């Protein structure tokens, strides 16, 4: 095979598996809406910084909706995943606690949703050993997200970066989650999770399968651009943080770049910066981007920014108020996490026992 056909073949294969995942996502969501109590959701975040508006619309909102529908909901704060591509755990405790603050302020109810961290759940981490035996080195090296993360990190590939998708399978399977809301970039990790569940059941638990094959749930919110029209990223300084003050948000929006054309139009391809501002306002107001553009029209970028500032700050005001109130009592935030860790540990120990039983390792 020439290298060209190889690229084409693997490209096609990728998009076929993407389409299959998308179809599975839609079908699963339809079933979930009908019968939420049959579903266990697990998803999570890396505690590398604060959450922004993109996280809210792309994932947090959906988690709250699943929780309120009556799905068994679980959120993992993936602290071990932080060291896949960086050399320090500086600020990690602060980042973890701030994630919990944003979850709660956004409507996550710790009575309904279990919130916990990797590092506290020993039995979950132990699943890594049998799971690693179920995948090949070639499969691990083929993961496009791992490849991209290795390139972005500028480091050589560490053992943890290569194998963290298997660790993510531990996150998902220890609580037997069958739905996993994620972004597109995490799809390869769900694929490997499904493979691990299938191979474990085939090899050790044919009669009495231990693990479900979970479905990825893909968000239908389009990717939210940063204020400058590029991808939202902490390093670009183009994201609206949920926990920022109204003044900080005002400043950030004021200094965001636009173009020299006075008349405001919604044209993401040719006018990414102006359009990113309009998209932001559209999300927080629920209005159509075209309607906002028409309304501002010849009033220009200054008027558009004033509208974005006003609508974003109005939208975030209740979140920020709740967040500030919760932050007055950090001890109870720590208690919530401790309680989640305790509950997750009990579940992980039970699953680990089933695994050892299936493998004939109960002595
Ligand atoms: N990999 C996810 C991210 O980078 C975070 C994560 C860790 C996760 N464990 C998970 C997501 C389990 C879903 C399920 O955002």
pLDDT digits (tens, 9 = 90+) for 142-157: 999 999 999 998 888 9
pLDDT digits (tens, 9 = 90+) for 62-75: 999 999 999 999 99
d(CA 216, CA 192): 11
Q: What percent of the chain has pLDDT over 70?
A: 96
Contact 111, 336 (CB under 8 A): no
Q: What percent of the chain has pLDDT over 90?
A: 90
Helix (H) or strand (E) holding 9: helix 3-34
Q: Is the CB of 228 under 6 A from ligand 1?
A: no
pLDDT digits (tens, 9 = 90+) for 29-62: 999 999 999 999 999 999 999 999 999 999 999 9
pLDDT digits (tens, 9 = 90+) for 272-298: 999 999 999 999 999 999 999 999 999
pLDDT digits (tens, 9 = 90+) for 6-21: 333 445 555 888 999 9
Q: Is the CB of 76 under 6 A from ligand 1?
A: yes
pLDDT digits (tens, 9 = 90+) for 171-203: 999 999 999 999 999 999 999 999 999 999 999
Q: Is the CB of 42 under 6 A from ligand 1?
A: yes
Question: Mapping DSSP to helix (H, G, I), strand (E, B) and coil, where does residue 258 land?
Answer: coil
* pLDDT over threshold 70, residue 243: yes
d(CA 70, CA 76): 18
User: Cα of 38 to ligand 1 centre, how many Å?
Assistant: 22
Q: Name the residue of 40, 43, 163, 217 whose CB sits within 8 Å of the most ligand 1 atoms, as the mutation to test its pocket.
A: 43
pTM for the complete prediction? Answer: 0.94
pLDDT digits (tens, 9 = 90+) for 76-105: 999 999 999 889 999 999 999 999 999 999
**Atom 2 in ligand 1: residue holding the nearest Cα:** 45
Instruction: Classify residue 348 as left (phi > 0), alpha (psi -120 to 50) or beta.
Output: alpha
Q: Is the CB of 44 under 6 A from ligand 1?
A: yes
Q: Report the 10 Å Cβ neighbour count for 178.
A: 21
């Amino acid at each position: 095979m020439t290298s060209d056909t190889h690229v084409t073949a693997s490209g096609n294969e990728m998009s076929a598996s993407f389409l299959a995942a998308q179809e599975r996502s839609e079908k699963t969501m339809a079933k979930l809406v009908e019968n939420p109590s049959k579903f266990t959701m697990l998803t999570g975040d890396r505690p590398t910084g604060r959450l922004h508006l993109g996280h809210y619309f792309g994932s947090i909102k959906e988690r709250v909706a699943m929780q309120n529908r009556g799905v068994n909901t679980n959120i993992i704060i993936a602290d071990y995943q932080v060291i896949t591509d960086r050399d320090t755990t500086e600020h990690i405790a602060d980042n973890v606690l701030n994630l919990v603050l944003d979850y709660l302020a956004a409507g996550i109810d710790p009575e309904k949703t279990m919130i916990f961290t990797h590092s506290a759940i020993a039995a979950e981490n132990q699943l890594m050993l049998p799971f690693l035996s179920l995948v090949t080195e070639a499969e691990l090296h083929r993961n496009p997200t791992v490849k991209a993360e290795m390139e972005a990190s500028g480091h050589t590939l560490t053992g943890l970066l290569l194998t963290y998708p298997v660790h993510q399978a531990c996150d998902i399977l220890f609580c037997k989650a069958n739905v996993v809301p994620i972004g597109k970039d995490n799809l390869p990790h769900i694929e490997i999770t499904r493979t691990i569940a299938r191979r474990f059941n085939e090899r050790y638990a044919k009669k009495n399968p231990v693990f479900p094959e979970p479905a990825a749930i893909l968000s239908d919110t389009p990717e939210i651009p940063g204020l400058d029209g590029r991808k939202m990223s902490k390093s670009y300084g183009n994201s609206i943080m949920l926990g920022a003050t109204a003044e900080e948000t005002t400043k950030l929006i004021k200094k965001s770049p636009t173009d020299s054309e006075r008349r405001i139009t919604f044209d993401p391809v040719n006018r990414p910066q102006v359009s990113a501002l309009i998209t932001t306002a559209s999300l927080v107001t629920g209005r159509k981007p075209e309607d906002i553009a028409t309304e501002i029209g010849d009033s220009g970028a200054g008027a558009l920014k004033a509208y974005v500032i006003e609508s974003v700050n109005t939208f975030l005001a209740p979140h920020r108020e709740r967040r500030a109130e919760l932050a007055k009592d950090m001890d109870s935030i720590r208690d919530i996490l401790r309680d989640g860790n305790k509950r997750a540990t009990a579940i992980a120990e039970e699953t680990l026992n089933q695994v050892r039983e299936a493998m004939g390792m109960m002595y």
